[in-house]
Structure 1
């Protein structure tokens, strides 16, 4: 069976795109791309992946073939590790199954369109996760309930901004500012006690935990460019969160003297 190299590259770059968009490390994306190409007996392949782009080149195997290069720009990223796992499993199964390119494309389309959890579940879990961080910090029942409510509100607002393609710095700065303002109001009206614990636990859903983890893993695996890029992304995210909290706290101190 004659394999069209362009079709194989289209399949490989599609798989890499799904993984990179959903939070995979760059070295894992590169490994998946090479694995898919080798499953279809294309050995002279090189892949280079950054957090915002995928580059694949297949060198000529004889004098009658020209090298082929594909480039894919990645403009949006989220976190859905279940899709990363599914694509990873799919790439490894190709060695034994030898699916056609068309079947492989259909499998990837099914993975890409795989539904996430309903919004109400994600909102509830975001509030619950943040509230239990408050418990770890020593928060009481009122602080727990305050953090739970505030985190859900922040998650809804940030998710809305993300759907409208707002800048991630604005998303996190505005989310942390709203969390701080609501925490002040909750404490002022007696729905919370420890302002610091409520604010810290409420902004936990904004912290770039996956970005930091991937930055370390990419750096350890030798992908220094991707590791540095993800580290800078995590740093900017942390700065945006601190900026949002700092602005609200400064306004409170300068307006009310830091007292209720």
Structure 2
């Protein structure tokens, strides 16, 4: 494998990890270009969208393309790639060492187990309910509803592999749980319980990335991420409202 081919693989792996972990497209392109420049590719060209990466060693070189289908949020992996990129630009990592470090990051499993994610989502739901001026008696119902909904969403996401549908079903279970708990005297304000319960599903990172990409001039990525965030919000709203059509 030639040095140029190795540099291309290093850049593609770095971009792949970052894009699949929820990074902004302009950050992905900047990281790939910095790595390429550090290893002597002065005219490297990179182009990223939410669903794919293009990279070439020069304006007239062969183009490398990688399709991205899954984009779970993993800020820890983004941080690790950023650290490796800084070491590369600082001249602290040889090409083969950088390739091995990135492969290790790529092969790492999720840093938090699903049960811990559900526990964190449940606790966050209760806290959000209090933050939105709910009563302390609503803390436990929101905790239960948020935990149930997030667990259902994770399970449906693995089963269906359609994120919007998984979030719709998760929000529906949040609505059902909130209704049953409040109706049986375990809470006072159903709206506060539901608001707190759905907060872990809200696409805050997608909205932030969409705005940052638009401000950086990446119009295609910014608009597509904005539409994705809007569809997610609609799925959550539809899932919650569905329960009220039956009661």
Structure 2 vs 1, CA of residues 207 and 115 (structure 1 numbering), >3 Å: closer, same or farther?
Answer: closer
Counterpart CA distance in 2 for 1:130 and 1:68 is: 49
Q: Tell me the distance in 1 between the aligned counterparts of 2:38 and 2:29.
A: 14
Match of 2:17 in 1: 18
Distance in 1 (CA, whole Å) between partners of 2:71 and 2:52 is 11
The one of 86, 93, 96 aligned to 2:87: 93
Q: Which moved more, 1:81-90 or 1:220-229?
A: 81-90
Between structure 1 and structure 2, the one with the greater Rg is 1
1:85-164 counterparts in 2 under 5 A? 85-97=79-91, 99-112=93-106, 113=108, 115-164=110-159
Q: Trace 1:174-189 onto structure 2 (pairs within 5 A).
A: 174-189=169-184
Partner SS, residue 49 of structure 1: strand
Contact 1:35-1:92 within 8 A present in 2 as well: no
Pairs aligned (count): 246
Structure 1 residue 239: Cα displacement = 0.8
Partners of 2:158 and 2:206 in 1: CA distance? 20
RMSD: 1.6
Instruction: Check the 8 A contact 2:48/2:54 in 1, yes or no.
Output: yes
Report the TM-score, using the length of structure 1 for normalisation: 0.90
Name stretches of at least 5 consecutive residues in structure 1 with no aligned partner.
Answer: 61-65, 253-260
The alpha carbon displacement at 1:143 in A equals 0.8
For structure 1, which segment, 104-113 or 229-238, has the greater mean C-alpha deviation from structure 2 after superposition?
104-113
Q: Structure 2: any 5+ residue segments left out of the alignment?
A: none
Give, in angstroms, the shift of residue 98 of structure 1. 5.2
Provide the C-alpha distance between the structure 1 equivalents of 2:110 and 2:126, rounded to a whole number of angstroms.
26
Hey, what does 1:213 align to over in structure 2?
A: 208
Q: Scaled by the length of structure 2, what TM-score is found?
A: 0.94
Give yes or no for the alignment of 1:77 onto 2:76: no
